[in-house]
Amino acid sequence: MLLEAQNADGQTALHLACRRGSSELVRAILEYREADVDVLDKDGDPPLVFALAAGSPECVRALIERGANVRSRLREGFGPSVAHVCAYHGQPDCMRVGLQFIMFIYIYIYIFFFIGFILKRTYTMIGAAIGWS
Protein backbone atom coordinates (compact mmCIF):
# COMPACT_ATOMS: atom_id res chain seq x y z
CA MET A 1 0.00 0.00 0.00
CA LEU A 2 1.07 3.58 -0.59
CA LEU A 3 1.22 4.50 3.11
CA GLU A 4 3.65 1.65 3.76
CA ALA A 5 6.06 2.70 1.00
CA GLN A 6 9.48 3.76 2.28
CA ASN A 7 12.21 5.90 0.77
CA ALA A 8 15.91 4.96 0.74
CA ASP A 9 16.15 5.94 4.44
CA GLY A 10 13.20 3.74 5.34
CA GLN A 11 10.92 6.70 5.99
CA THR A 12 7.22 6.57 5.19
CA ALA A 13 4.95 9.44 4.21
CA LEU A 14 4.12 9.77 7.91
CA HIS A 15 7.80 10.23 8.81
CA LEU A 16 8.14 12.95 6.17
CA ALA A 17 4.93 14.74 7.16
CA CYS A 18 6.10 14.76 10.77
CA ARG A 19 9.54 16.04 9.77
CA ARG A 20 7.84 19.00 8.05
CA GLY A 21 5.65 19.59 11.09
CA SER A 22 2.55 19.45 8.92
CA SER A 23 -0.22 18.51 11.33
CA GLU A 24 -2.85 18.64 8.58
CA LEU A 25 -0.94 16.12 6.50
CA VAL A 26 -0.25 13.94 9.55
CA ARG A 27 -3.93 13.89 10.46
CA ALA A 28 -4.89 13.10 6.86
CA ILE A 29 -2.52 10.11 6.84
CA LEU A 30 -3.74 8.94 10.24
CA GLU A 31 -7.33 8.83 8.98
CA TYR A 32 -6.37 5.54 7.35
CA ARG A 33 -6.45 2.50 9.60
CA GLU A 34 -3.44 1.06 7.83
CA ALA A 35 -1.18 3.92 8.89
CA ASP A 36 1.37 2.60 11.40
CA VAL A 37 2.27 5.31 13.95
CA ASP A 38 5.19 3.30 15.30
CA VAL A 39 6.82 2.25 12.02
CA LEU A 40 10.61 2.56 12.23
CA ASP A 41 12.95 3.98 9.61
CA LYS A 42 16.41 2.51 8.92
CA ASP A 43 17.83 4.31 11.97
CA GLY A 44 15.11 2.82 14.18
CA ASP A 45 13.20 6.08 14.60
CA PRO A 46 9.39 6.27 14.54
CA PRO A 47 7.52 9.29 13.12
CA LEU A 48 7.19 10.67 16.66
CA VAL A 49 10.92 11.50 16.68
CA PHE A 50 10.51 13.62 13.57
CA ALA A 51 7.47 15.42 14.99
CA LEU A 52 9.42 16.19 18.16
CA ALA A 53 12.46 17.41 16.22
CA ALA A 54 10.22 19.62 14.06
CA GLY A 55 8.76 21.16 17.20
CA SER A 56 5.18 20.42 16.23
CA PRO A 57 3.01 19.75 19.28
CA GLU A 58 0.04 19.31 16.94
CA CYS A 59 1.78 16.43 15.14
CA VAL A 60 2.88 14.93 18.45
CA ARG A 61 -0.67 15.13 19.79
CA ALA A 62 -2.10 13.54 16.62
CA LEU A 63 0.36 10.64 16.86
CA ILE A 64 -0.33 10.12 20.56
CA GLU A 65 -4.08 10.22 20.02
CA ARG A 66 -3.62 7.49 17.43
CA GLY A 67 -1.65 5.37 19.90
CA ALA A 68 2.02 6.21 19.30
CA ASN A 69 4.23 4.65 21.94
CA VAL A 70 5.61 7.54 23.99
CA ARG A 71 6.89 5.50 26.93
CA SER A 72 9.37 3.29 25.14
CA ARG A 73 12.97 4.08 24.39
CA LEU A 74 13.59 4.80 20.74
CA ARG A 75 15.74 2.87 18.28
CA GLU A 76 14.38 -0.49 19.31
CA GLY A 77 15.00 0.12 23.01
CA PHE A 78 18.65 1.18 22.78
CA GLY A 79 18.26 4.87 22.04
CA PRO A 80 17.06 7.94 23.91
CA SER A 81 13.62 8.36 25.37
CA VAL A 82 11.03 10.72 23.91
CA ALA A 83 11.85 13.18 26.70
CA HIS A 84 15.52 13.12 25.67
CA VAL A 85 14.61 13.98 22.09
CA CYS A 86 12.43 16.89 23.24
CA ALA A 87 15.18 18.25 25.47
CA TYR A 88 17.87 17.80 22.83
CA HIS A 89 15.89 19.71 20.21
CA GLY A 90 14.67 22.32 22.72
CA GLN A 91 10.97 21.60 22.25
CA PRO A 92 9.16 22.45 25.50
CA ASP A 93 5.69 22.43 23.92
CA CYS A 94 6.22 18.93 22.57
CA MET A 95 7.57 17.87 25.95
CA ARG A 96 4.39 19.14 27.61
CA VAL A 97 2.17 17.17 25.23
CA GLY A 98 4.13 13.96 25.83
CA LEU A 99 4.27 14.41 29.59
CA GLN A 100 0.55 15.22 29.81
CA PHE A 101 -0.21 11.97 28.07
CA ILE A 102 2.15 9.98 30.28
CA MET A 103 0.67 11.59 33.41
CA PHE A 104 -2.82 10.71 32.17
CA ILE A 105 -1.76 7.06 31.86
CA TYR A 106 -0.27 7.01 35.37
CA ILE A 107 -3.32 8.69 36.88
CA TYR A 108 -5.59 6.20 35.13
CA ILE A 109 -3.53 3.26 36.44
CA TYR A 110 -3.51 4.74 39.95
CA ILE A 111 -7.29 5.23 39.94
CA PHE A 112 -7.83 1.72 38.55
CA PHE A 113 -5.74 0.12 41.31
CA PHE A 114 -7.17 2.38 44.02
CA ILE A 115 -10.73 1.44 43.07
CA GLY A 116 -9.71 -2.23 42.99
CA PHE A 117 -8.19 -1.92 46.46
CA ILE A 118 -11.31 -0.22 47.85
CA LEU A 119 -13.61 -2.82 46.28
CA LYS A 120 -11.53 -5.70 47.60
CA ARG A 121 -11.49 -4.20 51.08
CA THR A 122 -15.24 -3.52 50.94
CA TYR A 123 -16.01 -7.09 49.85
CA THR A 124 -13.75 -8.42 52.61
CA MET A 125 -15.53 -6.31 55.22
CA ILE A 126 -18.97 -7.32 53.94
CA GLY A 127 -17.90 -10.96 53.86
CA ALA A 128 -16.68 -10.76 57.45
CA ALA A 129 -19.91 -9.07 58.53
CA ILE A 130 -22.11 -11.80 57.08
CA GLY A 131 -19.90 -14.65 58.21
CA TRP A 132 -17.95 -15.55 55.06
CA SER A 133 -14.54 -16.87 55.82
- Assigned CATH topology for domain 2-129: 1.25.40
50 within 8 A of 15, measured Cβ to Cβ: yes
List the domain boundaries for the chain.
Answer: 2-129
pTM of the model: 0.62
The per-residue pLDDT for 115 is 75
Residue 75 above 60 pLDDT?
A: no
Q: What percent of the chain has pLDDT over 70?
A: 66
Local confidence band at 101 (pLDDT 50, 70, 90 cut-offs): low
Q: Average model confidence (pLDDT) for the chain?
A: 78
